[in-house]
Structure 1
Amino acid sequence: MSLSEIVKSQRDFYNSGNLLSVNKRIDFLKELRDKIKNSKGEILGAIKEDLGKHNYESFLTEYQVVIGELEYLINNLHKLITIKNTGTSLNILPGRGIVLKKPFGQVLVQSPWNYPFQLAIIPTIGAIAAGNTVILKTSRKVPQTNNIIKEITKVLPNEVLYFADDYSHNEILDERYDFYFFTGSRKVGGIIYKKAAENLAPVVLELGGKSPCIVDETAKIKDAVKKIAWGKFLNAGQTCVAPDYVFIHKKKREEFIDFFKKEINLNYNNRENLTKIITEEKVEQLSSLIKGRNDIYGGEFNIEDRAFMPTILTNASFDDEIMRDEIFGPILPIIEYENLSDIIEKVKTKPSPLALYIFSNKNENVKKIVNYLNFGGGCINDVIVHVSEIKLPFGGVGGSGLGNYHGKYSVDTFTHETGVVVSKSGLSNFLRYPPYTEKKFKIIKKVLG
């Protein structure tokens, strides 16, 4: 079948009401859950082959989060889809208001290579849980992971979920969809946004940006270093919410750098445990960012092996070349600061980041940063873990994207809240009908103000 025929078959399937049953949606989710559980070894092995990622990391950041999302939706979907009663008011008497959560129809999900399993599957299951059909398009940079995704998605009919790995980006976008969900670069996100606008369709864009990490003079430095190093070097820094750079207070700079060097030597110096950089070209690009610097700690790389060792820049400046764009690699610029207000103003000069991290034991500083800066999500005295909390929305703002998902927020995103007034046949409010007499006018002015 051609892609156009697949798209039509999904639209016909949706229009026939086959996904109106919440129980049927739950059955589909259970089928996916069971297949994924039975394929755990193959999933971890495929990611290892594509990215060189340690099974420990893949289990936590790819497999476990998907299973957690599935279990949550299976156990809570009836409650999440329940019709909401809004009560009545003088305007609609004797009727009452209700809110229905209605699916959009056909959803296009496009996912990237850096977390190739979970970033493909989590939005997909959210869309299906909400009652939509899905066309799924993944990155061709992770062929082994694509193979296992293809096998997993076969447990559902093509009319519900179709893995469109045989089609190009342009071929995919030639079709019309009712909702667009994209995770990836800002450049391609802009293309998706324009395409959605052409079809007057809603869109979620999960992009990225330079996510700052601020460590003030009250922070517990050893704890901050351990967490920041983990967040930065996880997946070799190829994480959209990784701390991109650190602002460290002048009083704590030397202590911070000393602990960071020790942490690298202790836990991040074994190349076998580190994820590979996605391409040789990316290794070359990362190496160019540090070429000629005299403040490098680490910095070893091997282009053929796609290896880049964890690196810190101990005397970085906000005006350095490396501060222009998202690094997306295991390089951490460390920038000294003295005045908190000054760095808040500097961060404001860049597009709103996908994440923001603050290490502080001073509430005044935390409130100031949170209130003055726009960001998609974040942590106080931690990094990245907000993404794994199913009860929190995850998404960007401004330059880092729009819309959010995860847990109930996925159901909210992939449904349209439809307001309906329910009245009883034979009953109505006589005041709204002609003739518009003076007596009736006095009544409505008295009642409605």
Structure 2
Amino acid sequence: MAEEVVRELRASFAAGRTRPAEWRAAQLKGLVRMIEEKEADITAALHDDLSKPSMESYLHEISLAKSSCKFALDGIKKWMKPEKVPAAITTFPSSAQIVSEPLGVVLVISAWNYPFLLSIDPVIGAIAAGNAVVLKPSEIAPATSTLFAKLLPEYVDNTCIKVVEGGVPETSALLEQRWDKIFYTGNGTVARIVLAAAAKHVTPVALELGGKCPVIVDSNVDLHVAVKRIAVGKWGCNNGQACIAPDYIITTKAFAPELVDSLKRVLERFYGKDPLESADLSRIVNSKHFQRLAALIEEKEVADKIVYGGQTDEKKLKIAPTLLLDVPQDTALMTGEIFGPLLPIVTVEKIEDSIDLVNSKSKPLAAYLFSRNKKLQQDFVANVPAGGMLVNDTALHLANPYLPFGGVGDSGMGSYHGKFSFDCFSHKKAVLIRGFGGEATARYPPYTAEKQKILRGLINGSFIALILALLGFPREKR
């Protein structure tokens, strides 16, 4: 089946079906209509998969997907235009340009935590760039996967855009095919499998992964605002099941008690005295992930560090927002990505020490700092390697389509969003155009010392050498 799907898409792409701006715009308009007309169905699927509150579904998935479509529609014709660039003296007279060329047939493998947005957003970029595309939604979010399989053929060109459902066998079969690009969102373990499969065909890959996203909290802050922004970035993003959710906090020993107390008050205000009953918290996606998270806080040396929360309900797959203070650095909680509602707080003697602590771990997808201290802000931006970062808030940087979104090192490779999505699925083709005039005989054999002198002058940007070359010096018989 996978082979047949790719064969059909290659035929459509080879026929030039996906290249015209009109085709690209028509597909994007179809996606906008789908989002508008089927919003209730999308919301219901997200609730089935994750018990996601409707407000979160709209804010974090549906509205962002629609905005992404509209942004691409507004920019697509401009993005497709060749970019004129200066020509070098060595090619005078000539004109030069960069042409954005579709890669061909691409594969998008999406994740379960934001199953609608993380599926449709890369597809938007692939369509805008003029590619044929296969979407493989996550089987861990079956309701959303089924919805895509049902809806996409109703709203877009099914000869060029297809959905393939299934689990590991179906994904493995897709990875055996030759693609012109693979875009994968998920974890590092599967990313290595994707890279290995892509290497067989020398296929370029974009990886959107995760990591332990740090939050540095200075005492020089508006604490009331800071803790609300941290809380919504952690628990208001799929109950911590988000690649850019805060993974741990770093603050000073002196400031930690005040920070913990403030976080407790905000969490109770957001989710009540019994957060397991809150309709505003997503559930853990499945039993496997519930068991993984529960095991993290059942370790003796971790359980003793819980200062708030810790309640679990396996039947409902719910885990309460949980704060932990000074968990040992060698525990599983502190070495691996948490991807859930547990938030450890690490203390240091002085806030400047936090940067060294962050840099002792793998490069995160996102890094956050809360501080009014301009010097600390500058040091943070200059000295913390991360996919992206935000000062005095969390998560919102992904909502700006003029910023690239992507990881670095273990948190991924490549970026997308806005025009960066178009670029992600395009080849930047160099084009140089010359006429038949301006012939420089110095470039041709037989080589002489005089010719070499002129060519050296050309390479070094000498205008006199250019004139001599164009005049045909040294003179040669035709």
What's the TM-score once normalised by structure 1's chain length? 0.96
* CA distance in structure 2 between the partners assigned to 1:446 and 1:213 by the alignment: 55
Alignment of structure 1 residues 245-284 onto 2, 5 Å:
245-269=248-272, 270=275, 271-284=278-291
Q: CA deviation at 1:288?
A: 1.9
CA 1:17–1:256: 2 relative to 1, 3 Å: same
**Per-residue CA shift, 1:220-272, capped at 9, x if unaligned?**
22211111011110211000000000001223211111111101111023422
Aligned residue for 2:190? 188
2:372 equivalent to 1:361: yes
Aligned residue for 2:149? 150
* CA distance in structure 2 between the partners assigned to 1:251 and 1:72 by the alignment: 46
Aligned residue for 1:51? 50
Aligned residue for 2:305? 295
**Per-residue CA shift, 1:195-217, capped at 9, x if unaligned?**
11111111000111111100112
Amino acid at match of 2:296: L
SS of aligned partner of 1:115: coil
* CA distance in structure 1 between the partners assigned to 2:456 and 2:213 by the alignment: 54
Amino acid at match of 2:388: G
**Per-residue CA shift, 1:17-76, capped at 9, x if unaligned?**
222212221111111211221111110111011110100000001100000000000011
Q: CA deviation at 1:344?
A: 2.3
Amino acid at match of 1:161: I
- Contact in 1 for aligned 2:175/2:198 (Cα 8 Å): no
Alignment of structure 1 residues 311-322 onto 2, 5 Å:
311-322=322-333
* CA distance in structure 2 between the partners assigned to 1:320 and 1:336 by the alignment: 16
2:416 equivalent to 1:414: no
Q: CA deviation at 1:390?
A: 1.0
Amino acid at match of 1:256: L
Aligned residue for 1:134? 133
Alignment of structure 1 residues 187-206 onto 2, 5 Å:
187-206=189-208
Q: CA deviation at 1:427?
A: 4.8
Aligned residue for 2:476? none
Aligned residue for 1:241? 244
- Contact in 2 for aligned 1:214/1:247 (Cα 8 Å): yes
* CA distance in structure 1 between the partners assigned to 2:211 and 2:443 by the alignment: 54
* CA distance in structure 2 between the partners assigned to 1:138 and 1:177 by the alignment: 17
SS of aligned partner of 2:91: coil
Which 5+ residue runs of structure 2 have no aligned equivalent? 461-478
SS of aligned partner of 1:409: helix
SS of aligned partner of 1:251: coil
CA 1:141–1:447: 2 relative to 1, 3 Å: closer
2:86 equivalent to 1:81: no
* CA distance in structure 2 between the partners assigned to 1:331 and 1:441 by the alignment: 69
- Contact in 1 for aligned 2:312/2:319 (Cα 8 Å): yes
* CA distance in structure 2 between the partners assigned to 1:43 and 1:224 by the alignment: 32
CA 1:283–1:442: 2 relative to 1, 3 Å: closer
SS of aligned partner of 2:147: helix
* CA distance in structure 1 between the partners assigned to 2:368 and 2:108 by the alignment: 28
Amino acid at match of 2:252: H
Segment of structure 1 superposing worse, 187-196 or 359-368: 359-368
RMSD: 1.6
Amino acid at match of 2:415: N
Q: CA deviation at 1:81?
A: 1.7
SS of aligned partner of 1:7: helix
CA 1:446–1:427: 2 relative to 1, 3 Å: closer
**Per-residue CA shift, 1:102-132, capped at 9, x if unaligned?**
1111111000110000000000110111011
Aligned residue for 2:390? 379
Q: CA deviation at 1:341?
A: 4.6
Amino acid at match of 2:59: L
Q: CA deviation at 1:342?
A: 3.3
Q: What number of residue pairs does the alignment pair up?
A: 448
Aligned residue for 1:11? 10
Aligned residue for 1:159? 159
SS of aligned partner of 1:150: helix
* CA distance in structure 1 between the partners assigned to 2:376 and 2:348 by the alignment: 14
**Which has the larger Rg?**
2
- Contact in 2 for aligned 1:10/1:158 (Cα 8 Å): no
Q: CA deviation at 1:87?
A: 2.2
SS of aligned partner of 1:159: coil
2:217 equivalent to 1:218: no
- Contact in 1 for aligned 2:48/2:143 (Cα 8 Å): yes
**Per-residue CA shift, 1:249-301, capped at 9, x if unaligned?**
22321111111110111102342221010112322222222224233211111
Aligned residue for 2:465? none
Amino acid at match of 2:257: E
- Contact in 2 for aligned 1:106/1:179 (Cα 8 Å): yes
Identity %: 35
* CA distance in structure 2 between the partners assigned to 1:14 and 1:53 by the alignment: 37
2:31 equivalent to 1:66: no
CA 1:283–1:422: 2 relative to 1, 3 Å: same
- Contact in 2 for aligned 1:84/1:99 (Cα 8 Å): yes
Moved over 4 A (4+): none
* CA distance in structure 2 between the partners assigned to 1:274 and 1:244 by the alignment: 17
Amino acid at match of 1:242: A
**Per-residue CA shift, 1:294-329, capped at 9, x if unaligned?**
332111110011111111113434344310101111
Q: CA deviation at 1:436?
A: 3.4
Segment of structure 1 superposing worse, 393-402 or 169-178: 169-178
SS of aligned partner of 2:174: helix
Amino acid at match of 2:290: V
Which 5+ residue runs of structure 1 have no aligned equivalent? none
- Contact in 2 for aligned 1:107/1:179 (Cα 8 Å): yes
Alignment of structure 1 residues 27-38 onto 2, 5 Å:
27-38=26-37
The one of 286, 289, 294 aligned to 2:293:
286
* CA distance in structure 1 between the partners assigned to 2:380 and 2:362 by the alignment: 16
* CA distance in structure 1 between the partners assigned to 2:328 and 2:379 by the alignment: 23
Q: CA deviation at 1:348?
A: 2.0
Q: CA deviation at 1:438?
A: 4.3
